[in-house]
Structure 1
Amino acid sequence: MGSLLRALNVSHVLPAPDQAAVCSPEALHVDGGHVKLSFMDALFVDRVPMQRLFFYEGPGVPPFPSLVSSLKSSLAAVLAVFHPLAGKLTYRASTGDVVVDCTPAAIAPGVRFVEAEYPGSIDDMRRLAVGDEHHTEALMLLGPELNAGRLPAPVLAVQVTRPAIGGARAVVVGVSIHHAVADGHSVWQFMSAWSAVSRSPEAASGLAPPTFDRTAIQYPKADEVACKFLRTIAPALPVARSPSLYTPPDQRRRSFLLRADDIKSVKQLILAQSKAIGELMDTHPSTYVAGSSLVWTSIVRAKCLDPAADAYLLVPVDLRRRLGPPIDERYFGNCVVPCFARAAVRDLRDGGAGLARAAAAIGAAVREQLGDPLGGAERWLERFLAAPRERFTFTGSSNRFMAYETDFGWGAPSRVELVSLFTRELVLLLGAAEDGGVQVTVALDHAHMEGFAANLLRVSGEDLNGDVKIKQD
């Protein structure tokens, strides 16, 4: 676990047996105890797990032993409903498939639950996540390890870490989930259910079971495309990825808070620039488009790129309500399409039109893909791999995910961090603690971070009212 942490106890949590009627394979659409990955799931088999940290502090936080007991009992109740999260990601050599094995043998070990202690105060722990530069390696130690490099592998792990000094009521709850079994919508569906049961155990009986039925995503070449993706990203299965390819790169990591007024001003600037260049937008820019446009242009301006070349931004879009027929909002799995926004570097750097060009490119990419949501799915991975890495920015998560509402019964978290680094140039958006704000976490090479931050903060000089004051978190 590393010298920064001391392991206090390692146990395993099994699904609560008294929820058997709710979590039957028939109710959850688990065929023969296995959930076969969809072609959307297959895209993420080689990814490092998604790791989230929730910081809690204050008089409402209970003593550590009772806190751990509450988290374990509520997790057991929720695992009975989210049954595959207690299973194993498994490779079936006979068919070439990867599945989530939910059979009794696979679930029997339980979900790993680590209790740990950090040799410092809660202020020391918080400083790992805030300030000019996150201490990424130390921060990742606050989350549970989920070794998924070789299958079979667990898909969920939990770690609860307390500070060793200070006497404050404080804790960090870390959750790691394999991306091959869940997208962002699914993760927050699980976290919402778990926190609700932790607040009130009676809520367990009223949980609406998710659906794991992969046949809900109807695509004629689904099995063929899934096999193609697996052969490309994990050709040596059951080895899912090479450890050398996923060593955290030499990056800097910083967070910024875009307040509601900041977002409003960026939206106004996009509209004003669009009008000035004679390219009026079809719709008012969303908070996601405004935040993504600001970050994308700031990154491009920070790098030494050929002005005539194109820059790319990958935008994942949830398809649950956009397919025909629509997918149930309770669908648990990956249901996102990668949209590739593309714009000339010179256009994104243009101080009088850059934000408008970025917003237009994002909007055009999303509209084009949603015109035929699953069209060309077999080429999604090819398009991703073909994009030049030095001009490619990857976005993840969404401002629509209200992570700061994750209340286990001790109040809202004081800080939420998404810490998994699965690519060299990554932007993560999250709904901020204050209404209408957006928390932006950016991972960039050391050489580019200072320029990016300066460009982002310089928005105040470009705003129509001169009043954008972006806070460095």
Structure 2
Amino acid sequence: MYPGSALRVVESCLVTPSDETPREGLWLSALDLVLANRGHTPLVHVYSASDVAAADGFFNVAKLKKSMAKALVPFYPLAGRLGADRDGRVEIDCNGEGALFVVARSDRTVEAFSGPTPSSELTKLFCPRVQPSSIMLAAQVTFLKCGGVVLGTAVHHAAVDGSSAFHFIGTWARYCRDGESAVIELPCHDRALLRARSPPAILPETVSMFCSKLAMHEHESSVLATKVFAISGDQLCALKRHCGGASTFCAVSALVWQCVCIARQLDPDATTRMNFPVDIRHRLKPRLPGRYFGNGVVNLFATAAVKDVVSETLASVASRVKATTEQLDNELLRSAVDYFEMEAAKGGRPEDRGNLPETELRVNSWFHLPIYDADFGWGKPRLMTRAETVRGGWVYVMAGCDDGSARVLISLEAATLKKFERALAVCGVQTSIV
């Protein structure tokens, strides 16, 4: 039993690759090293057991282990350990020691997860405790009292970004569901494709666009609250039309940015920034392989005066976000890689802790990631979400389950969150709280 929880661990073991894999130190790019201090990203997938699925050995542990062992062959870095090379640079020691696999039972039911928000309890109950911390991948299968299952995973951020993490989970699921007939896309492990140039060539605008430090701090007198807002498929289409045909990310982030500025009642002359990660795999020349396995994202800052974000139409705010991304070209992105490599040579910088100041917003889009492609043979998950507590000012945009809808997970000061809900209504967007 974990102290103070309704969870009983039944088994804990290591799953090793089913075939021989390369034994080597995997060099990490500067974009990997930037995220190395983030540690593991905990995720949960929640599954309901139907009569048909239950009759077919719902989440059979032996089958899950066997398919994971098979998936760890092409994804062999996840069976390794975080280490350092002779010069002290962080690397992945691809030693084949295996991924942590935990089986547990809980007296909770699926109904308790109609719309869970990230919390320390969710992490403690349903995501594996990764010990030692050098383990790259861990998974926990928790059987619920009602017959449902929660699959918790934790992948080290030094190894992968969201795109690569879901690539592995989807491959593991296909091996479990389809066996030897599974059709998979092999990952590309050539991280030297993101090697910095020598000598480096850093453009003047690089730091302001990619490398500004987030001024994180603790809210000493404010209580943070987190909610998930659902935007239906029809509402999302209407929002995108209202934003002049903008992409889902530009439209939703513009809505959130404007409503947060309104809710926080910021000084109109103050400067506000929205920070968001951008996948650069297809923006570089030559392009990175679509299945590049590693961290292929950079953080971008869109900056504006509060009075402009608040008073402009949503279409104008969405255009601001789009214009920021349109500045990205190969030379600017390579300049960012060069800069991060120089930072890594200095020892990098510690992970930012705490919450964002009121003028800052962080929007992470998982809308186009295959977060529901985790059908292990017993049906797709009814819900997928992050498990860890979200920090103040952080937002996640995720797709609904196969209906074209969106879910917006946002964490703000409790009083501000209520004002945010009212601002959404004023903007004409009627959302439901999941």
Superposition TM-score tier, normalisation by shorter sequence: 0.7 to 0.9
Aligned 1:58-77 pairs, distance under 5 A: 58-59=49-50, 60-62=52-54, 67-77=60-70
Once the two structures are superposed, residues 300-345 of structure 1 have per-residue CA deviations (whole angstroms, 9 ceiling, x without a partner) of 2111322111111112111111111111112100011211111111
- Report the Cα offset of residue 471 of structure 1: 1.9
Most deviating of 413-422 and 153-162 = 413-422
The alignment status of 1:256 with 2:219, answered yes or no, reads no
The alignment status of 1:411 with 2:379, answered yes or no, reads yes
Match of 1:202 in 2: 180
Once the two structures are superposed, residues 134-165 of structure 1 have per-residue CA deviations (whole angstroms, 9 ceiling, x without a partner) of 372222224324548xx86112111111223x
**Structure 2: distance between partners of 1:50 and 1:367:** 29
SS of the residue aligned with 1:197? Answer: helix
Match of 2:108 in 1: 120
The alignment status of 1:172 with 2:133, answered yes or no, reads no
CA pair 415-365 structure 1, distance change in 2 beyond 3 A: same
Contact persistence 1:52–1:417 (CA under 8 A): yes
Aligned residue pair count: 405
Aligned 1:217-256 pairs, distance under 5 A: 217-220=194-197, 251-256=224-229
Match of 2:242 in 1: 269
SS of the residue aligned with 2:243? Answer: helix
**Structure 2: distance between partners of 1:398 and 1:434:** 14
CA pair 471-422 structure 1, distance change in 2 beyond 3 A: closer
SS of the residue aligned with 1:373? Answer: helix
The alignment status of 1:49 with 2:40, answered yes or no, reads yes
The alignment status of 1:432 with 2:426, answered yes or no, reads no
Aligned 1:446-457 pairs, distance under 5 A: 446-457=414-425
Contact persistence 2:174–2:375 (CA under 8 A): yes
Contact persistence 1:48–1:422 (CA under 8 A): no
The alignment status of 1:341 with 2:302, answered yes or no, reads yes
Contact persistence 1:146–1:155 (CA under 8 A): no
Contact persistence 2:119–2:389 (CA under 8 A): no
- Report the Cα offset of residue 70 of structure 1: 2.0
Please give the TM-score of this superposition, normalised by the length of structure 2.
Answer: 0.84
Identity of matched residues, %: 27
**Structure 2: distance between partners of 1:182 and 1:193:** 15
Contact persistence 2:118–2:387 (CA under 8 A): no
CA pair 188-336 structure 1, distance change in 2 beyond 3 A: same
The alignment status of 1:401 with 2:369, answered yes or no, reads yes
AA partner of residue 158 (structure 1): A
AA partner of residue 10 (structure 2): N
Which of 338, 355, 359 aligns to 1:391? It is 359
Once the two structures are superposed, residues 273-326 of structure 1 have per-residue CA deviations (whole angstroms, 9 ceiling, x without a partner) of xxxxxxxxxxx3111111111111121211132211111111211111111111
- Report the Cα offset of residue 423 of structure 1: 4.1
SS of the residue aligned with 2:334? Answer: coil
Contact persistence 1:297–1:354 (CA under 8 A): no
AA partner of residue 123 (structure 1): E
SS of the residue aligned with 2:278? Answer: strand
The alignment status of 1:137 with 2:120, answered yes or no, reads yes
The alignment status of 1:158 with 2:139, answered yes or no, reads yes
SS of the residue aligned with 1:403? Answer: coil
- Report the Cα offset of residue 218 of structure 1: 4.5
CA pair 62-222 structure 1, distance change in 2 beyond 3 A: farther
Contact persistence 1:56–1:413 (CA under 8 A): yes
CA pair 147-257 structure 1, distance change in 2 beyond 3 A: same
- Report the Cα offset of residue 250 of structure 1: 5.1
**Structure 2: distance between partners of 1:85 and 1:224:** 33
**Structure 1: distance between partners of 2:109 and 2:256:** 33
The alignment status of 1:314 with 2:275, answered yes or no, reads yes
- Report the Cα offset of residue 427 of structure 1: 0.9
The alignment status of 1:299 with 2:267, answered yes or no, reads no
CA pair 336-120 structure 1, distance change in 2 beyond 3 A: closer
CA pair 291-180 structure 1, distance change in 2 beyond 3 A: same
Contact persistence 1:53–1:175 (CA under 8 A): yes
Contact persistence 1:347–1:354 (CA under 8 A): no
SS of the residue aligned with 1:469? Answer: coil
Match of 1:458 in 2: 426
Once the two structures are superposed, residues 1-32 of structure 1 have per-residue CA deviations (whole angstroms, 9 ceiling, x without a partner) of 34223233232233343x33xxx43xxxxxx6
Match of 1:374 in 2: 334
Contact persistence 2:122–2:387 (CA under 8 A): yes
SS of the residue aligned with 1:200? Answer: helix
- Report the Cα offset of residue 417 of structure 1: 0.9
Which of 189, 192, 210 aligns to 2:170? It is 192
**Structure 2: distance between partners of 1:87 and 1:396:** 28
SS of the residue aligned with 1:77? Answer: helix
Aligned 1:4-15 pairs, distance under 5 A: 4-15=5-16
**Structure 1: distance between partners of 2:198 and 2:364:** 26
Most deviating of 354-363 and 253-262 = 354-363
- Report the Cα offset of residue 66 of structure 1: 5.5
AA partner of residue 36 (structure 2): V
RMSD: 3.1
**Structure 1: distance between partners of 2:247 and 2:264:** 26
- Report the Cα offset of residue 364 of structure 1: 1.7
Please give the TM-score of this superposition, normalised by the length of structure 1.
Answer: 0.78
Match of 1:279 in 2: none
Match of 2:214 in 1: none
**Structure 2: distance between partners of 1:122 and 1:101:** 38
AA partner of residue 213 (structure 1): D
